Structure 1
């Protein structure tokens, strides 16, 4: 054993939890058992999976509004099943995407004044119609199975990776509402996904205990597939920033919690293996560009952290707490308070509270400490979605945390990079041309861009009333002259158009299935045959019945939400009466 202590700038890093008045109380966290972080955050908002009836929902909490949340709180709705995961855009703090058990994703744009109504009195709220829930500005239909994880691309605007229950990962163009690349080859449930520094490679863990890396521009099968952690429980992965290293957490065959360090260029065996403990909670890894990895275990009260140096993971210390965490997340580094030497900030979800935790480096000097604050990724994209899907690659644009100015040379894009030899042959590109983007989104700090990249803006947000009227009866079956649009913008062949085909007859059930297309406005040629004359009538009848059931489902969700609001009002009045009697 060495007699000398290893020198490190982060040896005395400590975690400081916010005071109670700076926490977020009365948070009704979802009880869903799906393995997810439960929470996402940036410098402006926090999203939390919410426990509701009548469809799935999540709440968006403004970071500046601390304290106890009101019993009746506006929620982001639009799913018919539980919300499993959420993700904020790295280039638009007001844009958040939700993944649901109903197989869809909702894109929400939160207005800056959306929560001003919370400052009004009860009478003023009733006068303007009460609190209103948020509706998605766009819905993405991921398929018939649930969407378990969503992650935004780190350098390209409006590019989203989504892992679905049919064992594939799709890269979506959010603006066009279409999947452009599909990553396949999984044999079981996908547990976690993570992009590398440029977003050209993606690593994924799976319940089949395999670790896979993919070329995101080529799609198809994995470039590398190796055995990961031996245990059947949840495994997570985190890319080590600009390094070509990957950190995974999981369980051994003896149910010990482990952490592995991998070389992304050669996954034949882990470079480093560490046994953490024998607890049962899934370990969530979070990487900081200070070369520190934070490990937060579900069901634990502690957050431990290691420093990566020369392919060695050195234990620093841990933040200790008696309150177990159900989930956790870390904010982007551009949102940190450099004046307080804050190198990381986490949000920890407990039973009914969200706690901010700042990780600080004790320093006597009051000036900017450049040695512990390397440049951070800026809130401005280096590529557009069209550039990325056309094969361009780029590192993120960087800013200095001292003055917010851009770092020269960062975010420079290059041409199409050839895939690795073991990568599968790419499918022909079917991406629709992207509409001309609008002006780039503003960044909180000034940035000197090295390449012109623009952020495509989304439509203005729409909100629905909390107590909404029943949905109108849907229209009759569309005309047969042209294909119709389904709920999410895709084209669907009408029964009469299918009847015009000359191929053999197909079953009515097959005729009702929507066609998979890449462009929402292009007609679809039916490859299946026309149904019999009586089959066409059955298709019309089934289509009308399906529309009726969807309408009834919307009415049911609205009625359940109405009952929830009335129930919360009764609880508030009951508390007021009790307080009046006690006084």
Structure 2
């Protein structure tokens, strides 16, 4: 009898990020009472960095946005100070990747404004901008900072033009007039030498931003391309959009040949825009749907399968927009590789959502936290405009990692001596058996874990009920 050698191969490529899971922050970590803007523009309306959270809000007499110190979650009062210098609704806000106190905003009043926020946040309404950039003839819907040059900013307006601003001089140095319709999205590559755009004319373009020349162009006749993002050093761009069958779709393209996509994948039949977020450090792409609470994430590679689905974070609360914490602001000790701040209109709050690699170790996890972009600018505006290209200045996150030691554990124990307002060590003599205290602390920890499990089960029940209602409706 001939023996047949059987082999088995997993359908999933081996990956250290295979079991990454999403964890929503508790109520004590949320920012509540925020009157989120009612604008239906397909933008995120929020931005975050390690110091501040900015949220576009409703305001009488013009556009405004809130600036909240990140370490002060909780309820925001109705008279909380705002940045309110625009004369029309604010369309987009972006923090400078190099200076945590500098934020840019664009508005329906056809201007772009640069603001400098005090270290402690605002104590009164701010109306005077550091700089006002005037050049567009219609409302300005998009702004984008250059990834390696701190003084270059791009803006795209409904006049179908992209303006390149030199903030060292406060003037527009280039106008890109290559689009016959409104620009929907724009994305720089790693060193800022190329710009990818999507447009209402259903075309995807790769542009040299300094000359304005279109290097590559794809006519996506059967797809409405909404969003585009460069994928780091993979020499690819990823787009999300809607197919002719009204299904949400994601596609991967070779940036040097846009004749046809490398791969395409249909996601679902929902109608909200799919926002893509790329993590160049882990080569992971996150797809978050506007109007639903789901965040799907994939690992991207230059070989088949190009998009490897990993997992999906589900939430019953729909998101209006999301912002992403720069990698230098994540919690390295908790193996947090990505953190969203989710804008929830129904509850008037912003909720953090952490993406965590499940590991147990007391050492720094160098394989999931490689060198990443820091706050130092790689070149000046004049250098970039003259044709110089440089990649981002990289830093290590190892300094942010603090290994637990005996002193930290003692301090933590001192902080945990009160439970529900009761001082456990009050009237306890030094000779009292400390095992009783250890038992109380252990029981409190178990109670907290049980509460977290119950909260997760409640969320799961709400998800299942929502799915059941959807099945009945269809």
Find the counterpart in structure 1 of residue 68 from structure 2: 61
The structural deviation recorded for 1:230 is 2.9
Distance in 2 (CA, whole Å) between partners of 1:2 and 1:395 is 42
Q: How does 1:92-491 map to 2 (within 5 A)?
A: 92-115=99-122, 117=123, 131-219=124-212, 221-228=213-220, 230-232=222-224, 235-289=226-280, 290-311=282-303, 312-351=306-345, 352-403=348-399
Distance in 1 (CA, whole Å) between partners of 2:220 and 2:187 is 15
Find the counterpart in structure 2 of residue 121 from structure 1: none
Flag the structure with higher strand content: 2
The structural deviation recorded for 1:43 is 1.1
Q: 1:48 aligns with which of 37, 42, 55?
A: 55
Distance in 2 (CA, whole Å) between partners of 1:102 and 1:33 is 17
Residue 233 of structure 2 aligns to a residue whose secondary structure is coil
The structural deviation recorded for 1:242 is 2.5
Distance in 2 (CA, whole Å) between partners of 1:138 and 1:215 is 26
The structural deviation recorded for 1:45 is 1.0
The structural deviation recorded for 1:223 is 1.4
Asked if 2 retains the 8 angstrom alpha-carbon contact of 1:245 and 1:264, the reply is: yes
Residue 388 of structure 1 aligns to a residue whose secondary structure is helix
Residue 93 of structure 1 aligns to a residue whose secondary structure is coil
Residue 205 of structure 1 aligns to a residue whose secondary structure is strand
Asked if 2 retains the 8 angstrom alpha-carbon contact of 1:183 and 1:214, the reply is: no
Asked if 1 retains the 8 angstrom alpha-carbon contact of 2:46 and 2:53, the reply is: yes
Asked if 2 retains the 8 angstrom alpha-carbon contact of 1:229 and 1:235, the reply is: no
The structural deviation recorded for 1:228 is 3.1
The structural deviation recorded for 1:243 is 2.3
Residue 339 of structure 1 aligns to a residue whose secondary structure is helix
Find the counterpart in structure 2 of residue 17 from structure 1: 24
Asked if 2 retains the 8 angstrom alpha-carbon contact of 1:24 and 1:69, the reply is: yes
Residue 11 of structure 1 aligns to a residue whose secondary structure is coil
Distance in 1 (CA, whole Å) between partners of 2:221 and 2:363 is 44
Distance in 2 (CA, whole Å) between partners of 1:57 and 1:145 is 19
Residue 100 of structure 2 aligns to a residue whose secondary structure is strand
Please give the root-mean-square deviation of Cα atoms over the aligned residues, in Å.
1.6
CA-to-partner distance for each residue in 1:382-409, whole Å, 9 max, x for gaps? 011111111111000001111369xxxx
Asked if 1 retains the 8 angstrom alpha-carbon contact of 2:181 and 2:201, the reply is: yes
Residue 364 of structure 1 aligns to a residue whose secondary structure is coil
Asked if 2 retains the 8 angstrom alpha-carbon contact of 1:77 and 1:136, the reply is: no
Distance in 2 (CA, whole Å) between partners of 1:2 and 1:146 is 58
Q: Return 5+ residue gaps in structure 1 as ranges.
A: 118-130, 406-583
The structural deviation recorded for 1:113 is 3.0
Asked if 2 retains the 8 angstrom alpha-carbon contact of 1:292 and 1:306, the reply is: yes
1:177–1:229: structure 2 CA closer, same or farther, 3 Å change rule? farther
Find the counterpart in structure 1 of residue 83 from structure 2: 76
1:229–1:404: structure 2 CA closer, same or farther, 3 Å change rule? farther
Q: Return 5+ residue gaps in structure 2 as ranges.
A: 1-6, 402-474
The structural deviation recorded for 1:229 is 6.6
Asked if 1 retains the 8 angstrom alpha-carbon contact of 2:84 and 2:125, the reply is: no
Asked if 2 retains the 8 angstrom alpha-carbon contact of 1:152 and 1:161, the reply is: yes
Distance in 1 (CA, whole Å) between partners of 2:216 and 2:190 is 18
CA-to-partner distance for each residue in 1:120-167, whole Å, 9 max, x for gaps? xxxxxxxxxxx3334211111132201110010000111001111111
| TM norm structure 2 | 0.80
Residue 105 of structure 1 aligns to a residue whose secondary structure is strand
Distance in 2 (CA, whole Å) between partners of 1:170 and 1:262 is 26
Distance in 2 (CA, whole Å) between partners of 1:348 and 1:258 is 22
Asked if 2 retains the 8 angstrom alpha-carbon contact of 1:341 and 1:361, the reply is: yes
| Count of residue pairs the alignment pairs up | 389
Distance in 1 (CA, whole Å) between partners of 2:240 and 2:125 is 41
Find the counterpart in structure 1 of residue 434 from structure 2: none
Distance in 2 (CA, whole Å) between partners of 1:344 and 1:229 is 34
